[in-house]
Structure 1
């Protein structure tokens, strides 16, 4: 069973702990939550970001992942880039890229090892030691991620693809998921309740911060690393016993645990609304990346098998997170997320009807989602921009062939919670997940109008605008705090 609830205060640490040591408050960005926000958070910025993500960031990530896998071996790096269809870069560029990753990788692994030793020590260290350990870990992680800069000259000359596509055929997909899709076995059965490891807490700007982890339910299956563990950051409100909990899932390629802390309006709910926030690292993301891939890439590279695997894994992990939340607080539990995180949350919300009561969430928050995954895949701007649509079609998959697997990608039937406990934040200008697919889901589920937020923004700017207008999150907090 998960651990029992323990105090959020630091009284369990030695009296000598540095009371003034705390994780620093993230700096605000003038273009995101300052004077420039009304001008930048507009649909033109969505178009810019979509192009940057699909044509620059993910291609650089592809080269970075290849170099990380090569581990300093220039010949292995050349072969991996060639497999992606990139013409042979200049030897000097390859050598620099191959040499850049190993030192950053070692520094990151050393920082993580020291972090583990401190945050899971038998006796809680002083706050100052924990703060220093977390700061070192996040800086080392960001330096490792920043090695993408060495890929820039190679990308300029050879135009790296965003994804190393290796689309799996129908036989592989049917073998893995056919019985689930056809209803011969449960599509999303309740997973086992895990034994959860909980780190020591460190003071943070929004409340005490800690981390939980346990063995991932699909560890070692296909592209999931052996020994894979579910990991999540927990931010708790000060001096509120049994707080409500919000489990928030991120989007594809988003890895906040691999960056120096940024301002996060979801984490701020701990301070602003006394809500405990749990932010997991999704399968194949962050510390859980599969070897040779960037964060989340296997879902696209091996689609549709990879996408089906990811949804199956993350929905099971959501059930386990809900069970942990209920075991450690008597407050209600909400699940939800952004983009990929929203898609998985809504599937979990419907699947939870068949789960034990301890795994059923009380409320749901969906930000930038759709009830029609085939529309997202065949009409969405991200799928087109990444080349995913073309790759899937070239491998023989079409709309009709994929229809068989819709029960594993979309929520079917009513969610486990009443409609008035569902909050949806949708961008009317969303080109990644077309607005009409999300609106149809809201109508089908009977989400009340006062729980629907539909700004004239797109897939990126609508969630960014929560920095200047957190009304959707405030509404979720009101739902939780009245239960």
Structure 2
């Protein structure tokens, strides 16, 4: 069936539109909304609503309209008492949105990789069609609400891997018999045409993922990143910014993001990758990032191993395409991976070593996050891991694969840390201890009286930590 051409919206211009502002996030209500009470609300919503709905959504997406397959998939995660009528409605809800998304993606690839560059108008329309189709697919989580109300869904399909499986996959790395994070091969990147955007020219880059086909990673998995470049600065500094777990901005209609605005405000090129198992890289039958939790601790170890290697490749790509300095960083899960990469890079070639580091909501103590963090408890991950026989002592052996063990490759003066004093997900003590160990100067340490969610959201109204990073990069 021939693909219909993207239809430009009525307010169409030959550039990606400016994201709409939100009163509660960057308007008059922000100082009242971005307070600790909102952290508590968001934490409960994420743990008890969003991720459980995501579990049902992933099951229905995998079933692809087959009621029996959906019933079996829900039973696999302990959900049995669902009426046939509800199952039928849920099973039939996703295929249409899935087909529309896949069609939009095929058209997007054809347009953005066309031999002859299409007009800006066509590329903008194609990207907007892709993001709308992706958001409609993600929004099908609402179809899971009737099932979740009657039979509470778990946040993840927990299938905790035993010690033998973890040992076979990562024992050699933990003991030092093989390098924990060896330098990967230099990427053979494929880049799309660029399209004008509100913060600068937007393009995408991708290449085969180093761990494609290993355990839960899809065989055709590819590293993929959005690139936002400032105007009239060909050798701009670069920030490679990693997202948190379950965060999939490429699957939503474009939102305002202070990190992307660095391109317009400070002339910084921003590279925003899709993490392993997230967005267009989701593993079949899982929501974005779920295998890290569902198959813990193996899944978490796999994710860190994969993403750290991909960061090395992204740094190499950034250096090959600009003479400016390169920073890496991230939020939450992204920060945890960036800080491991910053220390692993000591053994990498110079072209894979970053010059600066930005950590937003992080900790140097992964076991504290896992055993004391509010999200690990709220999602049921801690309980599932313990029930499978894992305890603090058993996991300690693998800490070198999850936490930074040495000093980072860059000087402490080039590290910016943004911690929430009221962070219940990653207790602030773990981040402070890491800052002290590394000697991060006070001027580079930001600690607002906010929690895990409101502190990064408040960058919309006070981008001070990002401004500090930009100043460091622009002085190198």
TM (norm. structure 1) is 0.96
Instruction: State yes or no: 1:292 paired with 2:285.
Output: yes
- 1:428 and 1:247 map into 2 onto residues whose CA distance is 25
Equivalent position to 1:216, from 209, 218, 242:
209
Instruction: State yes or no: 1:283 paired with 2:286.
Output: no
Report what 1:361 is aligned to. 354
Instruction: State yes or no: 1:384 paired with 2:377.
Output: yes
- 1:148 and 1:227 map into 2 onto residues whose CA distance is 26
Give 1:96 deviation, angstroms.
1.0
- The size of the alignment, in residue pairs, is 465
Report what 1:419 is aligned to. 412
Listed as ranges, the matches of 1:441-456 within 5 Å are 441-456=434-449
Report what 2:7 is aligned to. none
Equivalent position to 2:52, from 55, 59, 75:
59
For residue 195 of structure 2, give the secondary structure of its aligned residue in structure 1.
Answer: coil
Check conservation: 2:15, 2:196, Cα contact below 8 A.
yes
Report what 2:177 is aligned to. 184
Check conservation: 2:58, 2:287, Cα contact below 8 A.
yes
Equivalent position to 1:236, from 229, 243, 246:
229
Report what 1:112 is aligned to. 105
Check conservation: 1:193, 1:320, Cα contact below 8 A.
yes
TM (norm. structure 2) is 0.97
For residue 128 of structure 2, give the secondary structure of its aligned residue in structure 1.
Answer: helix
Q: Deviations over 1:364-388 (max 9, x none)?
A: 0000000000000000000000001
Instruction: State yes or no: 1:265 paired with 2:258.
Output: yes
Listed as ranges, the matches of 1:259-408 within 5 Å are 259-408=252-401
- 2:81 and 2:71 map into 1 onto residues whose CA distance is 7
Equivalent position to 1:141, from 109, 119, 134:
134
Report what 1:11 is aligned to. none
- 1:439 and 1:113 map into 2 onto residues whose CA distance is 46
**Unpaired runs of at least 5, structure 2:** 1-11
Q: Deviations over 1:52-97 (max 9, x none)?
A: 0000000000000000000000011011111211132122211111
Equivalent position to 2:188, from 195, 210, 223:
195
Q: Deviations over 1:405-444 (max 9, x none)?
A: 0000000110000000000000000000000000000000
Give 1:20 deviation, angstroms.
5.0
Check conservation: 2:71, 2:80, Cα contact below 8 A.
no
- 2:83 and 2:134 map into 1 onto residues whose CA distance is 28
Report what 1:248 is aligned to. 241
Report what 1:102 is aligned to. 95
Superposed CA RMSD in Å reads: 0.7
Check conservation: 1:78, 1:88, Cα contact below 8 A.
no
Give 1:241 deviation, angstroms.
1.8
**Unpaired runs of at least 5, structure 1:** 1-18
- 2:201 and 2:29 map into 1 onto residues whose CA distance is 32
